[in-house]
Chains A and B, each alone.
Chain A
């Protein structure tokens, strides 16, 4: 990848005898969201700590816009926005004061700082509560402020470490929408999570990490192919199932069709795309549908396939 915003090359980090991160390499381009998916203790946070310049790797290097990042790389850090897993806000400062303080540390000055703070407050939905102390915020509002601080200086690389842990569904959705919007604006995003659904929804590419090692990486579909599993659509109903099965075999994207007198089972390449034509074809061929079930292999399946254990073990 030529224009990588972040390039990690053979990152290794040990804590005593424990190898927390072992030879991890990946790249993220501008406008790309890269997910690090793995269970707790897999090495995600240690990897992020090296990417954000909090820790020096024992071997390998992380580069942001071509510049090596580390604890002493002060200038390079200005290109990174970190959203730590733990809430990193001052509860006894207001939301606005938190943003202004971290903005100043990023080198922002009036009047740009004030304008940008207002914009971020708008994005994270805290305009009305900007003057309240952060300790008076709900959990979701604190999480949004936590993210807002990372966005403030419009970094080239946004690093989010499990930003939705402990967040209510409404706030979680707002956070995910914000990340999608930032990615569309061209920001490179490194997103760690152990929630499979978030990785599937947000990430252009996903790295599966376990025991400190990157087990595999690629797009969702690339990873799914590693399992050798395919999508499946089950049509449940009555009528002329044999005619319907014949008609379905002619559809593009359908690999196999079988029926047992009550259920037609299809294996397909892309179930979500094919559901509508499959249903209409079956009905037109004389089948009376009672139910439709779609089953897809997911990242959980991929993780299980690669590591031999479940993602949430």
Chain B
């Protein structure tokens, strides 16, 4: 095969593709439009603005040991929170009268009891309506009280060990206010899920990649339909060069479209997919896998129109299955099949790069894409060649 001839055929097809508005429409315009529409539809999901405001009455937080609790409730909850300091009886009646959503009652002598190793009880009251906002606030109170319980156990241990009363109180106080020595913090791991916007960009990019790569390879059948294939075959080029050139055209179109969609999508929606090298490796592998599928299509289809239809059905099917619109959750067979599709591999891979993963961390998605490519190429070789029959 002559590389020069292959390049001439490829560059001719790329030029024709640029003049064909449908490539621009299906390769760029439609996916961008869908990204924007889906973003508008789903942008509210997971937003803290969806929480209802919550009103909390707190009693007994004048005690220095629990003084921070009121500030924590007021400042650190994800919803708009109103904290009112009241007496214990008022707090209880406020809940009963539904004047507040929740009440936290710290008993008198709470701090002293902690410092002496006692077991005071913090009472949390709510209206019993199962409100998620109240549950969140209650879990925050529970977390704070857990740290105070640790101080109480420390004081008890100090008493057993023979320390004096003031020393026990001081130790308990320090424990109660200290930063934890061991902590669990949210971190970024290599298989982290993409954000909603990231999933939209990755999903739509993966879906429309099938359409874009289809334009190059399907043009082989168009050559036959419009009568130029016999002339190409009469040229001094190896017959396989024609198929290779078409495949290369598909690959280049897919690569450009994917790069533009990911790049512009990330700018438009403020999504970061991570380091550039692993992304390039992932995109090249995904486009190659998608292109291999179209090689199978042109073996089966008799006309460009048939090939276009089959390609669209396969593209949408694999896109849906691979989570281009919604992730396929659970551990059933559908989820396992979903994991084997190029869109799922791309989305998963971009999640890995987003989480800081490198090329080595992409082994799973790359193996999936490689397996898909091998199966498709073998199929395209096994299925009898019909498209080159003059």
Contact = CB atoms under 8 A, between A and B. Distances in A.
Interface in B1-32: 4-5, 8-9, 12, 15-16, 19-20
A contact face: mostly helix, strand, loop, or mixed: loop
Contacts of B230: 49, 52, 54, 82, 84, 86, 88
A87 B227 contact: yes
A84 B227 contact: yes
B contact face: mostly helix, strand, loop, or mixed: helix
A82 B12 contact: no
Interface in B175-224: none
A226 B228 CA distance: 40
Contact of A71 (B5, B227, B239): B239
A82 B231 contact: yes
Interface stretch (A89-97, A123-131, A239-247, A297-305): A89-97
A84 B12 contact: no
Contacts of A53: 233-234
Interface residues of A, number: 31
Contacts of A149: 231
Given A82-B231, A89-B228, A106 B8 contact: no
Given A74-B237, A92-B19, A105 B9 contact: yes
B390 interface: yes
Nearest to A79: B236
Interface string A48-92: 010011110000000000000001101111101010101111111
A198 to B, nearest CB: 21
B236 A74 contact: yes
Contacts of B232: 105
A102 interface: yes
Given A49-B390, A74-B238, A105 B233 contact: no
B390 to A, nearest CB: 5
B47 interface: no
Contacts of B227: 84, 86-88
A104 B7 CA distance: 10
A37 B172 CA distance: 112
A54 B237 CA distance: 12
B126 to A, nearest CB: 70
Contacts of B161: none
Interface string A90-119: 111100010001101111000000000000
Contacts of B40: none
Contact of A101 (B12, B236, B239): B12
B235 interface: yes
A168 B2 CA distance: 40
A106 B231 contact: no
B226 interface: yes
A121 B359 CA distance: 54
Contacts of A55: 390
A105 B237 contact: yes
A78 B237 CA distance: 9
Nearest to A88: B231
Nearest to B229: A88
B232 to A, nearest CB: 8
A107 B12 contact: no
A310 to B, nearest CB: 29
11 contacts: A49-B390, A71-B233, A75-B236, A77-B235, A88-B227, A88-B228, A89-B228, A101-B8, A101-B12, A105-B5, A105-B9
The 7 closest A-B pairs by CB, nearest first: A86-B227, A88-B231, A82-B234, A78-B236, A105-B235, A77-B236, A104-B8
Given A84-B231, A105-B8, 15 more contacts: A53-B234, A54-B390, A75-B236, A77-B234, A77-B236, A86-B227, A88-B227, A88-B230, A89-B228, A90-B228, A97-B15, A101-B8, A102-B235, A104-B5, A107-B236
Interface of B: 4-5, 8-9, 12, 15-16, 19-20, 226-228, 230-239, 390
